[in-house]
Chain A
């Protein structure tokens, strides 16, 4: 991997959360690169800082979170030195993110249609009617039945799997260059999980999108990722091509992570 053709290059990233009784180092000195069109997986136990990295890339750490060092270069642009207004144009259009908890991520008092359309109107300057028509097409693309009806529903009227699909539709509506998928299937049953992942990676191939896939499940990594980085307590302990890492883990932490779910992986 050389930096010239990487779509995203993160170097020496550190993030702190401040609390009233001191600061928590959530991410320390993390570096990785993602090649265009590839899938890069970030794995690690719960609480190791995966979501924090994703939010740092989008500069969406709220209140207590602060980037204390490092660089994030996306498509040749230094994201950390960008003005907030420019950053806003990148969010949702060039980098989009699928959130971990779809049920909490939609605004409960607006229809899902209006939330898809809002994103389209914002980045493509379309009017509401066209944006809603586009929303229907997008929902068809993510295999939702009767999309004309669904766009008029409120988030609480949809199931977790449907919301996850709507989330994917929103993420893809502006043909982003990078998609961050933060545990896109954590709230779903195994059958639905496979369906959503198939959909996600089919669309990735169609549109040639790079994916940063965040998960705690090495099984998914083995099936879907080209490259993988293993995290423990805020740092990357090992990274490289998926096959070599999963077959010959040099780090004991990686080993234990794989052994935990060994039954599920068919290398």
Chain B
């Protein structure tokens, strides 16, 4: 058990290191010198040097004790992300943004989860039923519409034309006023894919031999679905759930952009267009850590749920 956990943690740490290396290479090497952009067109060499010094880009890239990469790692490991381009503390900025984003993404995740599992279960159980077939087609239709269209059309009709919701975020509005529409749109856009995903999982279980044997023993449909099938389907369900949790704090870039919600998604988009690599690095680093933590949690869930999984031997 201890050996397994240590192995997992070592792997996770090297993966986090890899994430930092990739983002570093992307931004600092391929991305090129950004001090020109920061300084503007007609800045003198002096200004440029000052900016480079502040950004730390005057130092060697790799392979030195005081190189940019080493500092990059050092700062991340101490959660000291520095200042963003608009001179705010990045750590604080991320905390504030994440709070707002989570208020948006957690309801979307839970709503999608509950709706998709319920609908998926029904559609898998009554596969040939007319309603299930209509539901299946609706899902394919929903899967075929871009998220952008969901957002724009939803905002245009539900908020702008029919005035059921506020069109835009406004600091005076309470979250209960500005959040429902983006949440509804988020759930609607993801439902098609998710329902079919869970339906396929449940269908595979329902068609398996152990369900037939349970029926041959006289077990009724409710017990088969909610006890036998659900427990077996737990592995892929948990996998999907646990691996979507780490990205929740990032919010939804598109939803936040359109509804003007000042969450982390908006911050990331702003940072991308401002080439504020420090902010991006910090966000990527945090998500890598969360992914690592939740990977270990997923492994523990597997072991708790499935007697065939043995942590001592790995899977």
Residues of A within 8 A of B (CB): 55, 58, 60, 62-63, 88-93, 96-97, 99, 101, 104-110, 115, 118-119, 122-123, 154, 156-157, 170
Among all A-B residue pairs, the 6 with the closest Cβ atoms: A92-B218, A92-B217, A105-B213, A104-B209, A154-B307, A91-B218
**C-alpha gap A109/B246 in the complex (Å):** 28
B49 at the interface (CB under 8 A from A): no
B306 at the interface (CB under 8 A from A): yes
Set of chain A residues within 8 Å of B215, measured between Cβ atoms? 58, 60, 91
Cβ–Cβ contact A108 & B232, under 8 A: yes
Cβ–Cβ contact B228 & A107, under 8 A: yes
Knowing A109-B305, A122-B219 are in contact, say whether A62-B213 is a contact too (CB < 8 A): no
Report the minimal beta-carbon distance from B225 to chain A, rounded to whole angstroms.
Answer: 13
**C-alpha gap A122/B208 in the complex (Å):** 22
Report the minimal beta-carbon distance from A189 to chain B, rounded to whole angstroms.
Answer: 22
Set of chain B residues within 8 Å of A88, measured between Cβ atoms? 218-220
Cβ–Cβ contact B216 & A104, under 8 A: no
B163 at the interface (CB under 8 A from A): no
Q: In chain B, residues 146-192, which have Cβ atoms closer than 8 Å to a Cβ of chain A?
A: none
**C-alpha gap A92/B232 in the complex (Å):** 22
Set of chain B residues within 8 Å of A108, measured between Cβ atoms? 210, 232, 306-308
Cβ–Cβ contact B212 & A60, under 8 A: yes
Set of chain B residues within 8 Å of A106, measured between Cβ atoms? 210, 213
Q: In chain B, residues 200-231, which have Cβ atoms closer than 8 Å to a Cβ of chain A?
A: 207-210, 212-220, 228, 231
**C-alpha gap A159/B122 in the complex (Å):** 35
Knowing A109-B232, A109-B305 are in contact, say whether A62-B218 is a contact too (CB < 8 A): no
Instruction: Name the one of B207, B216, B232 contacting A107, with C-beta atoms under 8 angstroms.
Output: B232
Report the minimal beta-carbon distance from B234 to chain A, rounded to whole angstroms.
Answer: 8
**C-alpha gap A90/B6 in the complex (Å):** 53
Report the minimal beta-carbon distance from B23 to chain A, rounded to whole angstroms.
Answer: 40
Set of chain B residues within 8 Å of A170, measured between Cβ atoms? 217
Knowing A62-B212, A107-B210, A109-B232 are in contact, say whether A119-B307 is a contact too (CB < 8 A): no
- Pairs across A and B, CB under 8 Å, 11 listed: A58-B215, A63-B207, A89-B218, A93-B218, A96-B216, A96-B217, A99-B213, A108-B306, A109-B307, A119-B218, A122-B217
Cβ–Cβ contact B207 & A60, under 8 A: no
Cβ–Cβ contact A156 & B308, under 8 A: yes
Knowing A108-B308, A154-B308 are in contact, say whether A118-B210 is a contact too (CB < 8 A): no
Cβ–Cβ contact A118 & B207, under 8 A: no
Cβ–Cβ contact A91 & B216, under 8 A: yes
**C-alpha gap A141/B195 in the complex (Å):** 46
Q: A96-B216, A156-B308 are in contact. List 6 more A-B contacts (CB 8 A).
A: A62-B212, A90-B218, A107-B232, A109-B306, A115-B214, A154-B308
Report the minimal beta-carbon distance from B266 to chain A, rounded to whole angstroms.
Answer: 43
Set of chain A residues within 8 Å of B208, measured between Cβ atoms? 104
Set of chain A residues within 8 Å of B308, measured between Cβ atoms? 108, 154, 156
Report the minimal beta-carbon distance from A166 to chain B, rounded to whole angstroms.
Answer: 11
Select the residue from A89, A91, A101 with max chain B CB neighbours within 10 A: A91
Set of chain B residues within 8 Å of A101, measured between Cβ atoms? 209
Chain A: which residue is nearest B127 at the CB level?
Answer: A63
Knowing A63-B207, A154-B308 are in contact, say whether A91-B213 is a contact too (CB < 8 A): no
**C-alpha gap A60/B13 in the complex (Å):** 51
**C-alpha gap A60/B217 in the complex (Å):** 11
